[in-house]
């Protein structure tokens, strides 16, 4: 997802989405340790989405966004 799409969500939805992404990241990391992933790029995309959400939440909490 792009940052613009995340900015359209409210903070509660962002928190929920963050939890989902962290669980998915855990599952993918676990799978990558035990077997080969179909799409290894997905790990990078999830990591970046998590960073985007954390950045947006931080901006909202500090009043910079």
- CA angle at 34 for the pair 33 and 40, rounded to the nearest 5°: 55
Dist CA 60 CA 26 (whole Å): 26
Can you give the residue ranges of every domain in the chain? 3-62
Q: How confident is the model at residue 65 (pLDDT cuts 50, 70, 90)?
A: low
What would the two tokens of residue 23 be? Answer: 């669980």
Q: What is the pLDDT of residues 25-64, one digit of tens each?
A: 999 999 999 988 888 899 999 999 999 999 999 999 998 7
CB 57 within 8 A of CB 15: yes
Q: What is the pTM of this model?
A: 0.88
C-alpha distances out from residue 53 to 32, 44, 62, Å? 24, 14, 14
CATH class of the domain defined by 3-62: mainly alpha
Q: What are phi and psi of 22, to 5 degrees?
A: -65, -40
């Amino acid at each position: 997802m792009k940052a613009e799409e995340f900015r359209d969500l409210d903070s509660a939805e962002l928190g929920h989405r963050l939890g989902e992404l962290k669980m998915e990241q855990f599952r993918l990391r676990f799978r990558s340790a035990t077997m080969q992933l179909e799409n290894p790029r997905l790990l990078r995309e999830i990591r970046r989405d998590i960073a985007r959400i954390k950045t947006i939440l931080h901006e909202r909490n500090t009043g910079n966004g």
